[in-house]
Structure 1
Amino acid sequence: METPAPLIAECALTDLAGGLAVVRRFTRLTLQAWTGDTAVDDALLVVTELATNALQHGGGHALLRLTVDGTHVRIEVFDDDPAPPVRRPAGADGGWGLALVERLATAWGTARHGRGKVVWCALPAQSAELAG
């Protein structure tokens, strides 16, 4: 049996004020269509954290890419700053984001991309549609 091609969708990240609501809605609707409710809640948390980091610290044109291959949801956030994210000690002023990503994801990391970087993670995503 042939492995189906991965599903890929992208959404530009615009600003913190309304952009996070847009990217969260995009993520929820896309993943519900692809996987049912599998991984949607965890993906929303991760997308919020990574998008916030990109918009606050990344500069340039930030982009979210979602990919589902039948077993994993891959979340990638691209921005124009080549510096990798810095994990801060968690406290009242923040620092919980990367720890949350690390806890929820089966794997995560960063890589150079163009003049900037991509921060990515993988979450389990098994559904009857994708498994079939």
Structure 2
Amino acid sequence: MGGPRITGESESGISRVEFGPEDLRLVRNAVREVAEHYVPERVSDAMLAVHELAVNSIIHGGGHGVLRIDRTADSIVFTVEDSDGTSSVPRVSEPAGQATSGRGLLIAQRLSDRLTIESPPGHTRVRLHLALSPVGAGRA
């Protein structure tokens, strides 16, 4: 992949980060910066939830992924997309018994206002929505 790439604001969103296994800190920093601005009371939730999605991309999606951060009229949307190395459709579920893994999507779902999962051929796209706080709602 050649290292992480961050692009600033664009027509389609706030930020875009390409990431691999060594870039999780970069992902968390990008999420923190945006969350502090738009949903300051949920910075920790955003960072943990998106971190879990990024780890899933690395483990199950070919070793790398892309984080896009967009603002809609009422929420901040963190989209994590990968090349779907496993060819399976991810599902949110409770892990069995004393399992030490398998909680990433469940954590992300519980920390978000809405979580959607799409699996077009060859890709997995997970969108995590956090409602804008009243303070962040008026910011440009």
Shorter chain as denominator, the TM-score bin is 0.7 to 0.9
Unaligned runs of 5+ in 1: none
CA distance in 1, matches of 2:64, 2:95: 28
Inter-CA distance 6–126: structure 2 relative to 1 (3 Å threshold): farther
Query: What aligned pairs does 1:24-63 form with structure 2 within 5 A after superposition?
Result: 24-32=28-36, 34-35=37-38, 37-59=40-62, 61-63=64-66
Q: 1:110 aligns with which of 106, 117, 137?
A: 117
CA distance in 2, matches of 1:92, 1:83: 20
- Superposition RMSD in Å: 2.4
Whether the 8 Å CA contact 1:83–1:116 is kept in 2: the answer is: no
SS at 2:128 equivalent: strand
Whether the 8 Å CA contact 1:110–1:120 is kept in 2: the answer is: yes
Inter-CA distance 47–121: structure 2 relative to 1 (3 Å threshold): same
| CA apart distance, 1:57 | 0.7
Q: TM-score scaled to structure 2, two decimals?
A: 0.74
CA distance in 2, matches of 1:101, 1:55: 16
Inter-CA distance 127–12: structure 2 relative to 1 (3 Å threshold): farther
| CA apart distance, 1:96 | 2.0
User: How much identity, in percent, do the aligned residues show?
Assistant: 28
CA distance in 2, matches of 1:88, 1:57: 18
Residue 8 of structure 1: aligned partner: 14
CA distance in 2, matches of 1:7, 1:131: 17
Question: Alpha-carbon deviations, 1:3-30, whole Å to 9, x = none?
Answer: xx98431101121xx3111110111123
CA distance in 2, matches of 1:93, 1:29: 30
User: Which of the pair has the greater relative contact order for Cα pairs under 8 Å at 6+ separation?
Assistant: 1
Residue 76 of structure 2: aligned partner: 73
SS at 1:39 equivalent: helix
